[in-house]
Amino acid sequence: TTGPATILVSGKVHEHVVARIDKAFRLVTIERPDPSLLSDEDIAAVRGLTAFGNVDAALIDAFPNLEIIANFGVGYDSVDAVHAASKNIMVTNTPDVLTEEAADLTVGLLLAVLREIPKAEAWLRQGRWGGQGAYRYSPLSLRGRSIGIFGLGRIGRAVARRLEAFDVPIAYHNRRPVADISYAYHPTLEGLAKAVDTLVCIAPGGAETQKAINARILKALGPEGVLINTGRGSTVDEEALAAALEDGTIAAAGLDVFADEPHVPQVLLGAPNTVLLPHIASASVRTRRAMADLCVDNLVSWFVEKKALTPVPETAHVKAR
Ligand code: NDP
């Protein structure tokens, strides 16, 4: 084939991604991940794909000449990377460029939950400060807490680094201990939850972590327990969490992610002592632009240099044609 490679953009992706692909490649767009929206010629021409939403095995199989899936975001649980690997298709993500941003938001969410920042602000705006007096003393505080990080990877470590400055002890759970780290390692999530009162989840989504934070883990966290989740909503059993907040099994929760976004279950909207955010951990103008650039840089590098910049582990071995 001659001329620029055809890249398919499916769904609503960052406008800078679309603009750069349009400049460097032949751009084809569809509103939703449905190959029947494309001509047979375009289906055969597609060599690269970037999508907002699921890229499942069926979608991957629809494109006989697909070489690379450039995921916008570091979390790629919505892409069937194992299936892509089996078909010699590269999958890339956007690590590092969002690490510090996501860590900032995670710490902000923790403080917002503990000190009831949104509720206190509402108190002021509703004119209750003057009318009814000072906002209540927050029952919770970061002082004296111990932190457990579920997913001490790039972002988890950046969260831990920040929390060190807050003078709170830090422990963690991963599948494997991290070398050169002095934080206490717990080989099980339940062991971590028992040892701490504040659980910060920044682990990836997917089958292995599906509903890992369940009723048992919340019970282990205990009545002073606080859960912060900026990883993936699928990692939390939302029904169990709502029940645990309702009956005092744990004290409070801060969530940036949900199992079925943008749907937020009524039980969580109604649960006490929660701060709920619409998946914003990496969503500043600056960081989303950097993610957009890395997403497209992977495509450019693949087709020009014959190598991806940031392949996901499952496809690290995949070679350019
Ligand atoms: P990393 O791959 O660097 O870190 C992931 C960590 O999780 C690793 O330490 C890994 O350790 C651990 N982990 C993975 N699987 C398991 C498991 N089954 N059980 C226990 N621990 C596990 O990723 P990042 O830090 O860059 O990003 C982490 C996640 O954060 C992303 O996958 C994404 O889902 C989420 N995220 C959310 C954002 C938001 O907007 N809310 C923004 C950015 C990221 P080990 O391999 O030893 O198990």
**279 is an active site residue:** yes
User: How far apart are alpha carbons 46 and 27 in whole angstroms?
Assistant: 9
Cβ atoms within 10 Å of 23's Cβ, excluding its own: 10
Cβ atoms within 10 Å of 306's Cβ, excluding its own: 10
CB 256 within 8 A of CB 271: no
**Which numbered atom of ligand 1 lies nearest the CA of 232?**
34
User: How far apart are alpha carbons 275 and 277 in whole angstroms?
Assistant: 7
Is the C-beta atom of 233 inside 6 A of ligand 1? no
**261 is an active site residue:** yes
User: How far apart are alpha carbons 36 and 52 in whole angstroms?
Assistant: 17
Task: Provide CB contacts within 8 A for 247, sequence distance 6+.
Answer: none
Q: How far is the CA of 9 from the centre of ligand 1 (A)?
A: 26
Q: State pTM to two decimals.
A: 0.98
First to last CA, the chain: 12
Choice from 96, 104, 155 to test ligand 1 binding pocket (greatest atom count within 8 A of CB): 155
**Which numbered atom of ligand 1 lies nearest the CA of 174?**
21
Is the C-beta atom of 115 inside 6 A of ligand 1? no
Q: What is the pLDDT along the chain (321 residues), one digit of tens a residue?
A: 578 999 999 999 999 999 999 999 999 999 999 999 999 999 999 999 998 889 999 999 999 999 999 999 999 999 999 999 999 999 999 999 999 999 999 999 999 999 999 999 999 999 999 999 999 999 999 999 999 999 999 999 999 999 999 999 999 999 999 999 999 999 999 999 999 999 999 999 999 999 999 999 999 999 999 999 999 999 999 999 999 999 999 999 999 999 999 999 999 999 999 999 999 999 999 999 999 999 999 999 999 999 999 999 999 999 998
Angle, CA of 249, 211 and 59, to the nearest 5° = 155
At 101 the pLDDT is 99
Is the C-beta atom of 319 inside 6 A of ligand 1? no
At 1 the pLDDT is 53
CB 298 within 8 A of CB 69: no
Q: How far is the CA of 8 from the centre of ligand 1 (A)?
A: 27
CB 148 within 8 A of CB 198: yes
Q: Which of 14, 20, 232, 288 is catalytic?
A: 232
Q: How far is the CA of 288 from the centre of ligand 1 (A)?
A: 18
Among candidate residues 132, 138, 134, 142, the one with its CA nearest the CA of residue 118: 138
Q: Is 166 exposed, middle or buried (0-12, 13-18, 19+ CB in 10 A)?
A: middle
Q: How far is the CA of 185 from the centre of ligand 1 (A)?
A: 16
Q: What is the DSSP string of 171-191?
A: EEE-SSPPTT--SEE-SSHHH
Strands of the sheet with 147-150, listed across from one edge = 184-185, 170-173, 147-150, 198-201, 226-229, 252-255, 274-276
Protein residue with least CA distance to atom 20, ligand 1: 174
**26 is an active site residue:** no
**Tokens matching residue 132:** 């009814």
Q: How far is the CA of 97 from the centre of ligand 1 (A)?
A: 15
Choice from 172, 174, 178 to test ligand 1 binding pocket (greatest atom count within 8 A of CB): 174
Is the C-beta atom of 281 inside 6 A of ligand 1? yes
Q: How far is the CA of 64 from the centre of ligand 1 (A)?
A: 31
CB 197 within 8 A of CB 218: no
**Which numbered atom of ligand 1 lies nearest the CA of 175?**
48
Is the C-beta atom of 102 inside 6 A of ligand 1? yes
